[in-house]
């Protein structure tokens, strides 16, 4: 092959790189190792993580059972090793799965249109806020302090450089729900959107209808976010919201130390041309057969460049496919039963450990242990239980409170053991 | 002659919603070991939905058949060469999938105690160190989720550093050959974009650049090798020009697979760059993600990296959140960890020498294609290339056949098309990137297909105008799709 290229040696392939820019030594990385050694190495690393622990952690990342079928599907090379479906004639498989994903996201959230996925819930929030800015021409976002703290941090990073003003509004210390008086006092003619999460970071269900009415009265949009998608199996969807930006990790996406997950972005029909990211549409091919293709690309970076609605390109297609398979397996009845089981487990735990807030909760809630939470969690670790998330790091005002989560995978015996230590 | 494929039956399949019938289920849950709860009582009747309207109801075997049938409608690397320029569609080793699913890694919760996360943190630490060595830069953050997200992170770092000096400045320079994400990123980071015209070699024009750089310029975003697959040989000079005016150089590392083990951006003046783990380090594209967009920086940008930073203590790893100069978080938690596991497995399997060999093979394969096809397609910039080569359709356009038609015809020959009409500075571009994982046999099949198509252009151009002919789906009406969007089943 070198001869065909008219070259005498492989080094000549790089003659266009000036000598001073070339690396004159081998990379200081060890030689390659065999497949067996790689497995062995990662197993040894995995052994240094938590293994065989019961866990009460939620806080945006949930332990839900992953049916075997999910990996069977996503391991097919035709899904795993294909690119973004720009060439529709040989990408109909991926395109149709995305079309189903978009449909089910709409059905779950009560929205009209949804895109093909975002990186995750946290990055979907600033995208939603920027979308609200474009729609309203206003530059202030009001975000609930009860929304996920890391989502709010990401929003702040994005906002800082674009002249977007971010203001937080508080929560009621008795119910754990939005402090509507505080929200109302901050709404003004510069407010582009109000961002709320439900169930909120404390697991408490919010009154999205009321928040929407308040936002709309001020000419602002309601952006609704969620971290626990399983809640949508039983909770009324946010039909009054304008934009829904959330996270589908609960649907067969393993916690994986925080990613990769699958964010969603859905909206009312009239805002479709302001949506960021990829969209799949239904059409026909030249023989009149149903066919799908990427569409409305004039919103996107590869066409619009600096005037695009977002810079997003690669999204989370394969992870969104995991969620798609999960939603189809569980279906209408399964997601309902899943939600009911989560509700039952968390409320059993709530009968043993008193919730801090009085608002209705889905599958997690805050509680205040009798002893310092660090002490409690250390004691629990000895019983091979990872306790809840201490809240003081994100909410100093909540002192010794801890956030506890129970899902369909949480066993009654472990909840009893937790309650005993926390008492 | 078409040698790689012949037709076979492919199964029809409806949308899952059309297969649905009431009462069917594809899941199992254990019996509850706690008392059931009345939802309306617990949540308030107004908060409880009646049902998820329209949601499917199907059995497990129907789900399996549904997705298996759909999968057969896709082309994939596992079926053959996927020469999409700029996308680096290389083979995805399955060992990477296996290790990412080891329970202690896949089920690690981001908030579990650090003492029970040391293995996950070691993956992050080791990958950061390997990427520092590969890029010749001083520090790496793995938080960004994809290339464009890495670009945004990188430009925010530039902005933070300039702000600390007193003025964030106003403009980002972007060559006209750049990926669309570059100008889009600059816009989101609060900068205006000034385009930089390429010279007649398709490279940055150094004198032109020198004239553009003033006190308003924050940085130049440059892809190297550029989107023509050519190394920007004046890159060190460009860096000097920018640095002399207090500006920085951002390298889009989309094409880093042409440099690994051969040249390091840190050694030719780059201040900050991103890497696409799903390109250079072979994590699967998965139909459009997930990706990984680590950002590598020179020492002077390290204080601004996203929180938290991994810290090596005496006998353990720890997360350091106390970083007052940080731009903040760009994503919840620590990044796409599962993608990091796969990329690290790829690096360990190759080792230093293996990574360099991969680079050499990728560049050799692309040069081989250039030499074999140069008599049949126009080479607007005829010079040695690195990992990809860009032809134009000038010769074929004279017969009324465009790059998009040639691409569609290539499908009939059993290949995924190359990248069509990009970069924009080449009229009717055919951008071909074979990657290192294609054998000479597969390359020769591809070359034969391209030559055969070139002959068809002369002899029977109509065949190309409505290609592909052999796929189950023919050309899709994209105009109607955009004019009357149907974005969901109803």
Please indicate whether, in this complex, the C-beta atoms of B482 and A281 are within 8 angstroms of each other.
yes
pLDDT band at A34 (very low <50, low <70, confident <90, very high): very high
pLDDT greater than 90 at residue A311: no
Contacts of A322 (CB under 8 A, 6+ apart): A70, A74, A251, A252, A253, A262
In terms of domains, do A137 and A246 share one?
yes
In angstroms, rounded to a whole number, what is the distance separating the alpha carbons of residues A418 and B14? 48
pLDDT digits (tens, 9 = 90+) for A245-272: 999 999 999 999 999 999 999 999 999 9
pLDDT along chain B (490 residues), means of 10: 94 98 96 98 97 97 98 98 97 98 98 98 98 98 97 98 97 94 93 93 92 97 96 96 98 98 98 98 96 98 98 96 97 98 98 98 98 97 95 97 98 98 95 98 98 97 96 96 96
Size of interface A-B (CB pairs under 8 A): 652
pLDDT band at A163 (very low <50, low <70, confident <90, very high): confident
Among residues A189, A209, A213, the alpha carbon closest in space to that of A198 is found at: A209
| B386 contact residues in A (CB cutoff 8 A) | 13-14, 16
Among residues B366, B393, B398, the alpha carbon closest in space to that of B380 is found at: B393
| B251 contact residues in A (CB cutoff 8 A) | none
In terms of domains, do A132 and A215 share one?
yes
Please indicate whether, in this complex, the C-beta atoms of A259 and B333 are within 8 angstroms of each other.
yes
Closest Cβ opposite residue B268 in set A21, A108, A348: A21
* Helices A317-352/B60-71 angle, 10° precision: 150
Domain extents for chain B?
A: 16-76, 96-348
Among residues A24, A36, A58, the alpha carbon closest in space to that of A402 is found at: A58
Closest Cβ opposite residue B337 in set A18, A97, A259: A259
In terms of domains, do A306 and A374 share one?
no
Contacts of B444 (CB under 8 A, 6+ apart): none
Q: Which strands sit side by side in the sheet containing B389-392, from one edge to the other?
A: B389-392, B429-432, B419-420
pLDDT digits (tens, 9 = 90+) for A348-382: 999 999 999 999 999 999 999 999 999 999 999 99
Among residues B354, B340, B239, B357, the alpha carbon closest in space to that of B298 is found at: B239
Mean pLDDT of A95-106: 98
Please indicate whether, in this complex, the C-beta atoms of A314 and B472 are within 8 angstroms of each other.
no
Closest Cβ opposite residue B29 in set A89, A337, A411: A337
Closest Cβ opposite residue B37 in set A81, A278, A343: A343
Give start and end residues of each alpha helix (H) in B111-233. 118-135, 147-164, 181-188, 206-212
In terms of domains, do A273 and A130 share one?
yes
In angstroms, rounded to a whole number, what is the distance separating the alpha carbons of residues B152 and A193? 23
Residue A349 belongs to a domain with what CATH number?
3.90.1150.10
Please indicate whether, in this complex, the C-beta atoms of A87 and B147 are within 8 angstroms of each other.
no
| B60 contact residues in A (CB cutoff 8 A) | 69, 329
pLDDT band at A299 (very low <50, low <70, confident <90, very high): confident
In a domain, A23, yes or no: no
Phi, psi torsion values for B106, nearest 5 degrees: -65, -30
| A387 contact residues in B (CB cutoff 8 A) | none
In terms of domains, do A58 and A79 share one?
no
Which of A15, A255, A291, A314 is the best mutation test for B, with the most CBs of B within 10 A?
A314
Give start and end residues of each alpha helix (H) in A12-76. 35-47, 68-74
Please indicate whether, in this complex, the C-beta atoms of A49 and B145 are within 8 angstroms of each other.
no
In a domain, A384, yes or no: yes
Please indicate whether, in this complex, the C-beta atoms of A21 and B263 are within 8 angstroms of each other.
yes
In terms of domains, do A408 and A262 share one?
no
Please indicate whether, in this complex, the C-beta atoms of A5 and B71 are within 8 angstroms of each other.
no
In terms of domains, do A320 and A343 share one?
no
Phi, psi torsion values for B425, nearest 5 degrees: -75, -10
In terms of domains, do A240 and A102 share one?
yes
Q: Where is the domain boundary, A309, A325, A341?
A: A325
Question: Which of residues 197 through 216 in chain B touch A, CB cutoff 8 A?
Answer: none
In terms of domains, do A397 and A251 share one?
no
DSSP label at A81?
T
What Å distances lie between residue B112 and A384, B222, B272, B289, B454, CA to CA?
12, 40, 32, 26, 59
In terms of domains, do A321 and A337 share one?
no
Residue A265 belongs to a domain with what CATH number?
3.40.640.10
Q: Give chain A's mean pLDDT.
A: 97
The ipTM assigned to this model is: 0.98
In a domain, A307, yes or no: yes
Cβ atoms of residues B304 and B161 within 8 Å? yes
Cβ atoms of residues B175 and B186 within 8 Å? no
- B469 in contact with A, Cβ within 8 Å: no
Please indicate whether, in this complex, the C-beta atoms of A90 and B74 are within 8 angstroms of each other.
yes
In angstroms, rounded to a whole number, what is the distance separating the alpha carbons of residues B46 and B40? 8
In terms of domains, do A317 and A341 share one?
no
In a domain, A249, yes or no: yes
Mean pLDDT of A79-106: 98
Half-sphere exposure of B20 (CA within 13 A, CB side): 19
**What pLDDT does A305 receive?**
84
In angstroms, rounded to a whole number, what is the distance separating the alpha carbons of residues B411 and B467? 8
In angstroms, rounded to a whole number, what is the distance separating the alpha carbons of residues A389 and A374? 10
Q: Where is the domain boundary, A297, A325, A353?
A: A325
| A106 contact residues in B (CB cutoff 8 A) | 488
What value, to the nearest 5°, has the Cα angle with vertex B219 and ends B291 and B170? 110
Give start and end residues of each alpha helix (H) in A353-422. 373-382, 412-422
Cβ atoms of residues B227 and B256 within 8 Å? no
Question: Which of residues 76 through 135 in chain B touch A, CB cutoff 8 A?
Answer: 76-79, 82, 84, 87, 89, 91-92, 95, 97-113, 116-120, 122-123, 130, 133-134
| B422 contact residues in A (CB cutoff 8 A) | 302
What Å distances lie between residue A395 and A263, A353, A390, B52, CA to CA?
25, 20, 9, 35
Q: Output the DSSP codes for B362-379.
A: HHHHHHHHHHHHTTTSB-
B290 cis-preceded (ω within 30 degrees of 0) = yes
Closest Cβ opposite residue B123 in set A27, A37, A45: A45
- B319 in contact with A, Cβ within 8 Å: no
Please indicate whether, in this complex, the C-beta atoms of B468 and A150 are within 8 angstroms of each other.
no
Q: Output the DSSP codes for B408-450.
A: HHHHHTT----EES-STTSTTEEEE---TT--HHHHHHHHHHH
In angstroms, rounded to a whole number, what is the distance separating the alpha carbons of residues A103 and A205? 25
Domain that holds residue A124: 69-325
Q: Where is the domain boundary, A325, A352, A387?
A: A325
pLDDT digits (tens, 9 = 90+) for A183-236: 999 999 999 999 999 999 999 999 999 999 999 999 999 999 999 999 999 999
Cβ atoms of residues A376 and A310 within 8 Å? no
**What pLDDT does B1 receive?**
87
| A29 contact residues in B (CB cutoff 8 A) | 130, 133-134, 347, 351-352, 355
What is the domain class of B96-348 according to CATH? Answer: alpha beta
| A374 contact residues in B (CB cutoff 8 A) | none
Cβ-based burial of A368 (10 A; exposed 0-12, middle 13-18, buried ≥19):
middle
Cβ atoms of residues B484 and B425 within 8 Å? no
pLDDT digits (tens, 9 = 90+) for A103-160: 999 999 999 999 999 999 999 999 999 999 999 999 999 999 999 999 999 999 999 9
* The total number of structural domains that make up chain A: 2
What Å distances lie between residue B311 and A38, A306, B48, B129, B305, CA to CA?
25, 37, 46, 12, 13
In angstroms, rounded to a whole number, what is the distance separating the alpha carbons of residues A200 and A228? 9
Please indicate whether, in this complex, the C-beta atoms of A16 and B384 are within 8 angstroms of each other.
yes
| A298 contact residues in B (CB cutoff 8 A) | 482
In terms of domains, do A244 and A295 share one?
yes
Closest Cβ opposite residue A55 in set B26, B109, B189: B109
Max Cα distance, chain B (Å): 77
């Amino acid at each position: 092959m070198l001869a065909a290229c008219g070259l005498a040696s492989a080094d000549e392939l790089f003659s266009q790189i000036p000598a001073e820019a070339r690396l004159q030594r081998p990379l200081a990385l060890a030689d390659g190792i065999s497949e067996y050694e790689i497995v062995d190495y990662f197993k040894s690393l995995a052994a240094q993580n938590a293994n065989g622990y019961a866990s009460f952690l939620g806080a945006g990342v949930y332990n839900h059972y992953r049916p075997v079928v999910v990996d069977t599907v996503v391991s097919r090379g035709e899904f795993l090793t294909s690119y973004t479906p720009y060439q529709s004639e040989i990408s109909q498989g991926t395109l149709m799965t995305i079309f189903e994903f978009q449909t089910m996201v709409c059905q779950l959230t009560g929205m009209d249109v949804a895109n093909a996925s975002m990186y995750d819930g946290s990055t979907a929030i600033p995208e939603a806020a920027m979308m609200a800015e474009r729609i309203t021409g206003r530059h202030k976002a009001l975000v609930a302090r009860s929304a996920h703290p890391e989502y709010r941090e990401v929003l702040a990073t994005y906002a800082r450089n674009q002249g977007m003003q971010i203001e937080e509004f508080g929560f009621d210390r008795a119910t754990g729900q939005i402090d509507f008086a505080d929200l109302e006092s901050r709404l003004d003619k510069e407010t582009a959107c109000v961002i709320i999460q439900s169930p909120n970071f404390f697991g408490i269900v919010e009154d999205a209808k009321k928040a929407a009415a308040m936002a709309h009265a001020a000419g602002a949009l309601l952006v609704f976010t969620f971290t626990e998608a399983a809640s949508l199996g039983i909770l009324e969807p946010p039909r009054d919201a304008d934009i829904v930006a959330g996270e589908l990790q609960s649907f067969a996406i393993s916690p994986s130390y925080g990613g990769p997950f699958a964010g969603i972005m859905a909206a009312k029909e009239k805002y479709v041309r302001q949506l960021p990211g990829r969209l799949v549409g239904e059409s026909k091919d030249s023989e009149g057969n149903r066919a799908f293709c990427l569409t409305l690309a004039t919103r996107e970076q590869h066409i619009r460049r600096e005037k695009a609605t977002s810079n997003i390109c690669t999204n989370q297609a394969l992870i969104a496919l995991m969620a798609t398979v999960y939603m189809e397996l569980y279906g209408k009845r399964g997601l309902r039963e899943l939600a009911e089981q989560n509700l039952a487990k968390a409320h059993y735990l709530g009968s043993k450990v008193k919730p801090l807030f009085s608002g209705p909760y889905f599958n997690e809630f805050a509680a205040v242990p009798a002893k310092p939470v660090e002490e409690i969690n250390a004691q629990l670790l000895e019983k091979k239980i990872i306790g809840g998330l201490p809240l003081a790091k994100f909410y100093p005002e909540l002192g010794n409170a801890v956030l506890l989560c129970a899902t369909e995978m949480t066993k009654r015996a472990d909840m009893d053991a937790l309650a005993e230590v926390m008492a | 002659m078409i040698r790689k494929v012949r037709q076979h039956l492919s199964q029809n399949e409806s949308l899952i919603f059309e297969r649905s019938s009431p009462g069917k289920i594809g899941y199992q849950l254990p019996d509850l070991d706690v008392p059931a709860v009345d939802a309306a009582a617990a949540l308030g009747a107004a908060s409880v939905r009646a049902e998820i309207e329209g949601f499917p109801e199907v059995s497990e075997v129907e789900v399996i058949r549904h997705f298996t049938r759909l999968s057969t409608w896709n082309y994939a690397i596992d079926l053959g060469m996927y020469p999409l320029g700029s996308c680096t569609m290389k083979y995805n080793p399955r060992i990477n999938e296996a290790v990412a699913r080891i329970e202690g890694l896949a089920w690690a919760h981001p908030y579990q105690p650090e003492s029970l996360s040391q293995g996950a943190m070691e993956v992050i630490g080791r990958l950061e160190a390997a990427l520092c060595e590969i890029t010749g830069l001083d520090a790496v953050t793995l938080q960004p989720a994809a290339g464009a997200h890495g670009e945004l992170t990188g430009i925010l770092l530039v902005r933070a550093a300039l702000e600390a000096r007193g003025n964030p400045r106003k403009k980002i320079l972007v060559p006209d050959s750049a990926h669309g994400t570059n100008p889009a990123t600059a816009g989101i980071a609060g900068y205006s974009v000034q385009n930089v015209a390429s010279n007649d070699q398709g490279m940055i024009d150094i004198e032109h650049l020198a004239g553009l750089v003033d006190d308003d310029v924050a940085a130049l975003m440059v892809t190297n090798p550029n989107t023509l697959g050519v190394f920007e040989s004046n890159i060190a000079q460009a860096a000097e020009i920018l640095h002399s005016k207090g500006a920085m150089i951002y390298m889009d590392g989309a094409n880093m697979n042409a440099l690994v083990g051969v040249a390091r951006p840190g050694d030719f003046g780059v201040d900050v760059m991103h890497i696409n783990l799903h390109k250079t380090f072979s994590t699967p594209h998965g139909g459009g993600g997930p990706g990984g967009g680590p950002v590598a920086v020179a020492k002077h940008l390290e204080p601004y990296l996203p929180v938290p930073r991994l810290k090596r203590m005496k006998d353990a790893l720890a997360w350091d959140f106390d970083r007052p100069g940080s731009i903040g978080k760009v994503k919840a938690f620590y990044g796409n960890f599962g993608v990091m596991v796969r990329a690290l497995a790829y690096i360990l399997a190759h080792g230093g020498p293996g990574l360099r060999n991969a680079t050499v093979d990728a560049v050799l394969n692309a040069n081989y294609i250039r030499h074999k096809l140069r008599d049949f397609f126009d080479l607007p910039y005829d010079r040695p290339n690195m990992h990809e080569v860009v032809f134009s359709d000038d010769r074929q356009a004279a017969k009324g056949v465009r790059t998009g038609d040639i691409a569609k015809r290539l499908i009939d020959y059993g290949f995924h098309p190359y990248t069509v009409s990009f970069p924009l500075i080449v009229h009717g571009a055919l951008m071909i990137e074979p990657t290192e994982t294609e054998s000479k046999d597969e390359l020769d099949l591809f070359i034969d297909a391209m030559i055969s198509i070139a002959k068809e252009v002369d002899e029977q151009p109509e065949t190309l105008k409505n290609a592909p002919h052999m796929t189950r789906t023919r050309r899709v009406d994209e105009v109607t799709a955009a004019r009357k969007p149907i974005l969901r089943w109803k």
